[in-house]
Structure 1
């Protein structure tokens, strides 16, 4: 899990967002404007909109749909949720 913290006040850091993933984060970097976080997780590069992450924190379905790029495909569903019939998971 990757956690983003606002450390403007070093005496009272505040977690502003979390990025859950089942693999370790290998590397990360912020864009020069600090609005995008780039990560490599399990050999894949992913760009995260920091404002989007903060807005979705605490909203499991919306976050899941955002993180998967619109939900699981039938193939991904079969691999990750075996034994349960496929259903579209995001609107």
Structure 2
């Protein structure tokens, strides 16, 4: 596969990255759906140390932050092969 910028990537590597991204989005969507059903409004973010909220270049680093379920749903991953996951924080409203 040849990208618009001229970069080349074997089709197998592209397909693997696409599959991993889709499965990560689906996993996080399920987590967020269940949190909503349980009335949880806040999620803690588990991600790579250098991973930004919307991309690696984003200065808003994601890991360890607490985001609303809506924010988490808007950015379930930030890049292909992203390891982002969310954990419910039902106690966060009491801390806010």
Q: Give TM-score scaled by structure 2 length.
A: 0.23
Higher normalized contact order (CA 8 Å, seq sep 6+, divided by chain length)? 2
Q: Give TM-score scaled by structure 1 length.
A: 0.24
Between structures 1 and 2, the one with greater strand share:
1
Between structures 1 and 2, the one with greater helix share:
2
